[in-house]
Amino acid sequence: MLVADLASQGGPGAPAVIVTAGVHGDEPAAPWALLSLARDGLFDRDFAYRLWPCTNPSGYILKTRESAEGIDINRSYGRGRSSPEARAMLAANRDRKFLLNLDLHEDFEADGFYCYEPKVDDAAFGSAIVQAIDDAGLPVQDLEHGYELGYPPTATHFTLERGRVIPDAEIETTFQRGLPHSIALLRSGAAARSLTFESPLRLAWEDRIAIHRLAVVTALERLRLPVP
């Protein structure tokens, strides 16, 4: 499991962003998109970065959602920290604070991009990202209640917009078990804001890469703007 730190032009005290990918081994475009962003110098150098390009390396090799131990790592960051990968990441990120967490995924049911954006204030990162993807001529998912989002059927703590799932962050962070890394960071206060990006697995490889690259770059552009 690789981790890399990118220095910023602002020096050691620059505000930090964490970007993760590959927590599900059957979502292969996300790690390659993250690596290509670093390769092509697309990370805004006013921020410092902690990059985790593949947080489930055994699952990536096996092309499975779970790790080789049969664990869904993205549900192992809650109480008990039930995977070695989760324990390693939480230990490595201990005492770190991030302005923004970005987590890159893929969805085999989707026809277009969408994101999870737990509401922490009135800033709207997701809407800017959806607009950028529209402007690029890439598809955006039309979401309706009933679309499989990984929530229990009784969950009512979120609203839906085109391309955006907007959960109540306070309610989301009260869940005790099966936490994804993005919510664990919010709950601990290690990240001030978190977005999870989903590209559609059924699209061509280059389009899936392009969606993630554009979503990350747009999120960083939005981070530079003041909160309304």
Polymer length in residues for the chain: 228
pLDDT single digits (tens) 44-80: 999 999 999 999 999 999 999 999 999 999 999 877 6
Strand (E) or helix (H) holding 169: helix 169-172
Structure confidence at residue 6 as a pLDDT band (50, 70, 90): confident
Structure confidence at residue 185 as a pLDDT band (50, 70, 90): very high
Residues 7 and 41: beta-carbon distance below 8 Å: no
Tell me the two tokens of residue 46.
């006013």
Residues 41 and 117: beta-carbon distance below 8 Å: no
Terminal CA-CA length for the chain: 38
How far is Cα 157 from Cα 145, in angstroms, rounded to an integer? 12
How far is Cα 54 from Cα 215, in angstroms, rounded to an integer? 18
Q: Radius of gyration over alpha carbons of the chain, in Å?
A: 16
Phi and psi angles of residue 213, each rounded to the nearest 5 degrees, phi first? -60, -45
- Whether the pLDDT of residue 226 is over 90: the answer is no
Dihedral sign (CA 205, 76, 62, 36): positive
Strand (E) or helix (H) holding 218: helix 205-223
48 bridge partner residues: 16
What CATH number does the domain located at 4-223 have? 3.40.630.10
How confident is the model at residue 172, as a pLDDT? 81
Residues 43 and 49: beta-carbon distance below 8 Å: yes
How far is Cα 215 from Cα 12, in angstroms, rounded to an integer? 26
pLDDT single digits (tens) 121-142: 988 899 999 999 999 999 999 9
pLDDT single digits (tens) 8-38: 666 677 899 999 999 999 999 999 999 999 9
- Whether the pLDDT of residue 197 is over 90: the answer is yes
Residues 103 and 197: beta-carbon distance below 8 Å: yes
